[in-house]
Structures are given as structure tokens and as C-alpha cells.
Structure 1
């Protein structure tokens, strides 16, 4: 088996998946790798056990899993490594964003497992190969000034999904600029990512200015996925201060739930958090502009760095007040509706992983330090025009 993270555990209330199936997720595996690092650091698992698990994943990616110009699909079969196209028949090839989430985790592992021991040496070596072989520049479609999300060996660029901001995909541009062999020109970032209808915002919502993104900020995973490793503290470029962006996005989301303009039962200052998750009607990108009365615990809990008191209030409410109703084998269920009484029976890798990682970043900054210690990452950030305390003195 692959060692990678299953897409979900428990009956599916969202995308078409079979409970207990062997579908693993590329991006969720990146988040899981970072959670394993936390587990090793805190002594929940032995360092040797953690290194062995991550080495298993790395070997699988290198020798078994389907790859396309060094990039991976969104979903893989955990035993065979074959790409599974769940979301579209054309989505049978590379997914640049999912690969970026995976690589974010792999680079953190390379930095953490730094001892001169056989398993750790091999792990670093394989991650180095995977990192070097990823052809980020291939996803410019021959030199266009934007990255494309998908490429298929059967239908090429037919999905035609440009990656433009603002959303969860900043990490793809940072890694593409940082790549040791297949880096993009910085103009791809400035003319592709930053030239979008919903990039610059600078309007006020609930009394807070939002530098970037759609009205009210969108789902909260925009403030999480790219920033599991990328440290937003003091991070800025010509477009935004990213700490301010993420803090204000979080506070807008909280104020929306606390003020509860739709009158949903159960919402309040301690019951908040709108982001993508399962719902009664399938998988939904919940946000203040698409508020269906569904609270997703990862939204508040992965926001500990940005609003620690508000996140702690939510944690205590979820655990002490709602307790076993939303707590299960793998922690908090994916989502619940205090208005209707519905609760998901599922746990999603892309929702569970960020909780562990962002709580640790709030406590110690561990994953931020690891990722930002990568020389290539610092080079990529400088190439794109970012400033950060991590770049001082280089």
C-alpha cells in the first residue's frame, strides 16, 4: 500500500467516493505529512516510525504512482498508484495545485528529517528527486503568462482552468518560482495570478478591510492551505500584507457567524467557521456569500494563528458543549448543522490535516520554520518580489 492519506474516512456525504475504498488524495497527503512531523516532534509517534511512514510514501510516489511531467493527479488508487478521475473524465492527469500541496509537505519533511541515518538520508534523497523532476513550467502551456491547473495525457489542456487569484493556490506559484530545474518566469505570477477579477479587493466587510479576494473573503481554506508551510507573518509583496489578509479574512468570517444575518439556529461567537466541506446537499464551498447553516470545525480550528481566542472559544464549544454529537474516532466530524441537527459521518484529509498543522504553527511555528528554511523557497519568494523576516540576511 502507498502510505498516502485516504481522501476520506466514513460514509461519504459529499463527492462520489465509496466508504472504505482505497482512494488516496495527493494534497491531503501533503497535509498529512506535515501532521506526521508534528506527531514526531511532540512524541506521539517515534521519530523512526514517522520517518519510515514518510519514506514509504516517497518510494511509492517515485516508483509506483502515475506522474505526468513529474506532477501527480488529484486522486490515486492507494494500491496501484493509478490516477482516478473522480471529478471529471478529463481529470485523468496532472493536478498542479494538488501537487503543490503535496510538495509543501515533502519539503517540510526534507528539512525536518535531517539526521545522518539510513531512512532519513533516503527520504531526503527521494524528495530531492521528486522536487527536481516536477515540471512546473510545463503548466504554462508553452510559455503563456499564467499557470494551468490540469493537464491530461488523453485530452491535453481541454479543462482549460487558469490558476488566477485570490484563492488557495498561492503556494503553486511560490513553488513554481522556486523549482530547481523547471521554474517559471516571475511574470507568470504578476500577469497570471495577480491579474484576475477577484484578486484586489480593498473593500470593507463588517468593518474590516479585505486586501484580496472575493466579497467577504470566500471559504476560510483560502487562509490555510497555502499557509501551512508558507509563513504569513511579515510576508508581503506589492499586492498585500498576507498576515493582514488572513487575519481580516478570519475575523470577517467570525463576525458573519456571530451576527448571523440569516438567523441560523446555533450560530454565535463560539459556534463559527465557514469553509468547504461536506453538507446535507453534497460538498459545498461554504462562505458568508454561500452560507447554508453548516459549520465546519476545521475553519475555526485551523485559524488558531490568526484569531487564537476566537478559535479557542470554538474548540471549547465544539468539544465541551457539543461533545459526542460531533466528536468521533478521528476527531471532529467534517461538518454539522446546528440549525437542522444534521452532522456529517465523514472525516476528510484536507480538513483534518490543517487542524494539526495550524495549531502547531500557532504554538511553535514549527512547519513555518521548516518550510521557510528551504533555500529554494526563499529564492522563489525573492524572485516574485516578496519580503519576509525569513529573507532578511540572505
Structure 2
């Protein structure tokens, strides 16, 4: 797992040789300036609207899926505007559902967008039911994420399937066109062959390639962002994994449990094996839990609400304590997760702190740390920091220590914000996903209880 993060970092740094895009996306849409007079509720709606737009007006036009990145500064790796992310598109599906509920778009507009997504995904490259990490948005062909990562990516596919299930649940009792869409989403989700990705062992593997087989060699054990992959693997109506795969692979025969504390908070599960890396980047508390509701969720290994509250709150306390003495860190400026940095893409968290704050970390933690997250939101949207906000909401990352910020966005960072804010406000996406019958069966199979 940690090796894979290093691969991502290397990949993103390698993309630093850039050429201008074919058509530059500009930050021309006016941003609400007088946010100081907005209520908390109105500010949350504003942020949801801006981040939703990444997946609606900012979508790759042919596929309607989420662009991997949007650079407002007009500098891209070659042809990168047409690369779409499968996992980020799953986040985008849930963001579009939020858009319907918040009246950003009509139900009919959303239906048409989802139909276009389904048209593309049904014909895109798949590998034993799993999509690759990246797709060429104009052709549906695989865009290799790295030399050997040119096949199925089960983690990104699980993030996509989480969105598909939410869409299916939303439209399944609608009119004829909506029911037809729900059926298409259901079929694509059912076609994911989780059993294949065990490679005959009691663990799920991240990748398989038609050219390199299992050479990437990433069996996924916890704890990290991949819980949803195992939950969906157990929930699959067609290719379900056994409980032994979860217990031995994900939970590492119980070694996933932790009795350690960090900043006075129980860690619940082991994030890292090194004492220098006590907690992981905060996206671990977001990606699996856009649909999977951690409130009251427990199994033999932990209490998942306590896990995520501890994760977010310990990072808050770390930034307030500020052991590295970085400029700007404090009670209203906190949150470390993987994002852009002065050195390219980096995995930010205590133990690997470069002085970079990534807005999605605190904002997407709104269900866990509402007061602390709202304080950060007020800090970000203060008029004197309007250079940190663009048409799609907060830019990806900034560093007051290094007097650095970047006018760039990543789908996987923008996507959790509108969804997790909505889960905080109404529990909307949590309700949709958790009502899915096969998800309920899968959780029961793995020994989960939930309220």
C-alpha cells in the first residue's frame, strides 16, 4: 500500500514537463466575494455549488466523466485535459446527486448526464469487469497510470461502483428512462469480478494487467482508503468474496487493530507500522465513506465512527500544536492529505509534513469535526484569501510557510467536498448507499453492525 503511494508521487512528479492545453480552461466565473455576511448554511451551499461544478461544467465533454485534473493556470501535461479518472468519476456521480437535491441542476439534466456517462463506461476498456485508473476521454481506451499499471484497477473501480450504486438507488423507482438508467448502472456494478482479483488467495489485489499479469503485486491490507473495495467485494451479487478474504487480507488476521493513541485520541486501527507515521492522509477518512456511513458502524476490529473522528481531530490537534513550526498552522488552518505541493504530488500527513495545507482535508471532514471544519472554511473564504478560491471552489493546496499556492484542481480532492458536506447536513448519500440490499447483505456477511 505505501509503495503504491510512492508510485503515485513519482508519477505525478514525472508529469512536470508540461505543454499548453489544446483549449485552456479559465477561471472566468465570478466568485462570491462578500462571504463574510453569509450564514454557515449559505456558505456550505456555496462551497457545494462550486465543487459540484467541477463535475458538471468542468467534465470531459465526450465522456461526461471527471477530468483527472483541471489547471486554471493553463499548464498541462500533454493532452491531459482529456484524461478521465474512474474513481474520481464515482465521486462525481455522487456530487451530481447532491446537485439535484440542492437544485443546482434538474433531475432531467442529471439523468441526461448519467446516461452519457453510462454510454461511455459500457464501451470503455475493462479487465475482468474492472476499469483502469485512467481512461482516454475521447476513446474509452486505457491511459496507463504507470508502465505496468495498464489494466484493471480494483480500488478505483470500487470508488466508481460506490457512485453507481448510489445513482441506481436514486433512480430505481422513477420513470421509464430513470429505471432504465438504474438497470444499466446495476449491470455494470454486477459485472465487476472481485473473485478474479483475489488471484486465488485470501486477499484482494489492487491491479491486474493483460500485459503484465499480477506483476504490480499490490495485495491490499488495511488500514487505508480501501475498505469500500472489500465491502463491495463481499456485497457483489455475482462475484462475491468470502469473509476469509476480508479477515485474512484486509484485517491481516486481526493485526489491523490498534490500542495506540495520538494526541489523546484512540487510533482504533493501525495506519502505519512506523511510529514516525502515526496517522495517514485524511482522504482515508473520506473515500470509502462517501457512501458507506461510519455512524454506528462496527465490526470485530473497530468502531468506524470513532476511527474517523480520531483521525480528523488528531490532525486538527497536530496542526494546532504545530511541532514543525510552520507558518499559518493553527485552529483555523489545518488538514493534511495527498495533494499537489511545491515538489509535485505528495502524501501529506503527520510524519511527512511539508508545510502544505490541502483544503479538502478539513472540509471533507465536516461530519467528524463540524466546528473545526467550519472554522477552516471561514478562514479560506475570507476576502483576503480570495486568491485561494477559484471557480470550482478551493484550489488544491497552499503553503503559507513557502508562500506557495497552485491554481489547480484534482478530481479526487474536489469530489469528497460536496458529498461529505451533504452527508453532514442531511446524510443524503449515506442513506442512498446504505439502503442498497446487497450492501446490507455484504456488511452482515463481514460481521458489521450499524445503526
Give the TM bin, normalised by the shorter chain: over 0.9
Q: Confirm or deny: 8 A CA contact 1:9 1:19 kept in the other structure.
A: no
Give me the whole-angstrom Cα distance separating, in 2, the residues matched to 1:323 and 1:205: 31
**Matching of residue 359 in structure 1 with residue 417 in structure 2:** no
d(CA) in 1 for partners of 2:383 and 2:247?
47
Query: Equivalent residue for 1:45?
Result: 105
Contact 2:338 2:347 in 1 (8 A): yes
SS of the counterpart of 1:262?
A: coil
Correspondences of 1:162-177 after superposition (within 5 Å): 162-177=219-234
In structure 1, what is the equivalent of residue 135 of structure 2?
76
Q: Match of 1:388? A: 450
For residues 322 and 170 of structure 1, the distance between their equivalents in structure 2, rounded to whole angstroms, comes to 39
- For structure 1, the residue ranges without an aligned partner over 5 or more in a row are 390-394
**Residue 4 of structure 1, aligned match among 53, 60, 65:** 65
Matches within 5 A, 1:191-210: 191-195=248-252, 199-210=256-267
Q: CA 1:181 to 1:50, structure 2 compared with 1: closer, same or farther past 3 Å?
A: same
- Aligned counterpart for 1:340 among listed residues 393, 402, 406: 402
Further displaced range: 196-205 or 144-153: 196-205
* Kept in 1: contact 2:168–2:181 (CA 8 A): yes
Aligned residues: 385
Please list, as runs of the form range in 1=range in 2, the aligned pairs for 1:257-272 lying within 5 A after superposition. Answer: 257-272=319-334
Which residue is equivalent to 1:98?
156
Aligned match of 2:121: 61
Gaps of 5+ in 2: 1-61
Residue 168 of structure 2 is matched in structure 1 by 110
* Aligned alpha-carbon RMSD (Å): 1.7
* 1:229 matched to 2:291: yes
Distance 2:365 2:132 in 1: 28
Query: Contact between 1:327 and 1:333, CA under 8 Å: does it hold in 2?
Result: yes
| 2-structure distance, mates of 1:333, 1:68 | 34
User: Whole-Å Cα distance in 2 between the matches of residues 294 and 328 of structure 1?
Assistant: 18
2:214 is aligned to 157
Q: What is the alpha-carbon distance in structure 1 between the residues aligned to residue 241 and residue 410 of structure 2?
A: 32
8 A contact 1:13–1:278 mirrored in 2: no
Please state whether the residue corresponding to 2:93 is helix, strand or coil.
helix
8 Å Cα contact 2:68-2:85 kept in structure 1: yes
Deviations 1:43-76 (A, max 9, x none): 11001101110111112111x2100111100000
Contact kept, 8 Å, 1:220 with 1:250, in 2: the verdict is yes
- By how many angstroms is 1:311 displaced? 0.2
TM-score, normalised with respect to structure 1: 0.95
Give 2:182's aligned residue: 124
Distance in 2 separating the partners of 1:227 and 1:116? 26
Q: Which among 389, 400, 412 is matched to residue 327 of structure 1? A: 389
Equivalent position of 1:392 in the other structure:
none
Structure 2 counterparts to residues 248-263 of structure 1, below 5 A? 248-263=310-325
Q: Does structure 1 conserve the Cα–Cα contact (< 8 Å) formed by 2:88 and 2:411? A: yes
TM-score, structure 2 normalization? 0.83
